[in-house]
Copies of this chain bind each other. A is one copy, B any other.
Amino acid sequence: MKKNFRLLIQYDGTDFHGWQIQGSERTVQGELTKAVSIIEGEEVFVCGSGRTDAGVHAEGQVANIKISREIGPDKLKAALNGNLPFDVRIVSVDAVDDSFHSRFSAIGKTYRYRVVNSSVMSPLLSRFASLEYRELNLEKMIEAACTFVGQHDWTAFSAAQSDSEDKVRTVSKFIVTSHFSEIANGNIFEFEVTGDGFLRYMVRAMVGTLLEVGRGERSTASIAEAIQSRDRSLSGPTATASGLTLVRVYY
């Protein structure tokens, strides 16, 4: 009888080719699969709440695994961390009902995107942020971010190679903040977005679009037009992966 365990996972995505196993590339799912399979003695499928792309980080990714090895959650956590490289860590392990599925049971996610607004990217911040050296208008970006909230067809804000047929998702919250940081030698802007699900590149396309607004290159009204058009060419560029972190998955 296999037991189902939920894993809370953090990773620094810098040196990973994303979550999903693909050939011989170094991926988070690949490292986890190796670590779990050593414990189980045979290959185990590590089911994640969703993929993250190359270079994207996680503070709270969730996965579940079904294993027959008799082991408690705390020992499993220690054993997994012992078998994993230091850029991916298991924060907690919980025994869960057999019906728990990290992907299908998820009801929402929060992502955070961090931008350093300075002439120079601090080496103390560079792994988990992207750089914008031009001036950014916070108020305009806060106003524009409201346009994203609601249920929409997000075709204009997703990758052409997105494998989801259904492009309708609901964004429930989009918070834009800014604070001065001595380390950054300027302001750090944070974009925190919560929704019931996100298409591939969707958060990064939304942030890339908001940064155009912040630089005064695009109006708030143009965002609603872009959403309605379902035309990828009307939204902004995909912001770099390094700034993006999966903060939390809701169940």
- Using CB atoms and an 8 Å cutoff, list the residues of chain A in contact with chain B: 10-12, 57, 59, 77, 81, 86-92, 119-124, 126-128, 182-183, 185, 245
Kindly report how many copies of this chain are found in the complex they form together.
2
User: In the complex the two chains form, is A185's CB within 8 Å of B86's CB?
Assistant: no
Cα–Cα distance between A123 and B11 once the two chains are bound (Å): 6
User: In the complex the two chains form, is A10's CB within 8 Å of B59's CB?
Assistant: no
Cα–Cα distance between A5 and B92 once the two chains are bound (Å): 50
User: In the complex the two chains form, is B122's CB within 8 Å of A10's CB?
Assistant: yes
User: In the complex the two chains form, is B123's CB within 8 Å of A12's CB?
Assistant: yes
Cα–Cα distance between A60 and B128 once the two chains are bound (Å): 20
5 further A-B contacts with Cβ under 8 Å, apart from A81-B120, A89-B122, are A12-B126, A57-B124, A87-B123, A89-B121, A90-B120
User: In the complex the two chains form, is B12's CB within 8 Å of A124's CB?
Assistant: yes
Distance in angstroms from A246 CB to nearest chain B CB is 11
Contact of A86 among B119, B123, B128, B182 (CB under 8 A): B123
Cα–Cα distance between A127 and B122 once the two chains are bound (Å): 14
**Which residues of B sit under 8 angstroms from A87, Cβ to Cβ?**
123
**Which residues of B sit under 8 angstroms from A88, Cβ to Cβ?**
123
Residue of B nearest to A122 (CB): B10
12 A–B contacts, CB within 8 A, in A order: A10-B123, A12-B123, A57-B124, A59-B124, A59-B182, A59-B183, A77-B120, A81-B120, A88-B123, A89-B121, A91-B185, A124-B128
**Which residues of B sit under 8 angstroms from A90, Cβ to Cβ?**
120
Residue of B nearest to A182 (CB): B59
Contact of A121 among B86, B124, B127, B183 (CB under 8 A): B86
Distance in angstroms from A231 CB to nearest chain B CB is 36
**Which residues of B sit under 8 angstroms from A128, Cβ to Cβ?**
124
Distance in angstroms from A134 CB to nearest chain B CB is 15
Cα–Cα distance between A77 and B90 once the two chains are bound (Å): 41
Cα–Cα distance between A177 and B33 once the two chains are bound (Å): 39
Given contacts A91-B185, A185-B92, contact A86 B120 (CB under 8 A): no
Cα–Cα distance between A182 and B183 once the two chains are bound (Å): 21
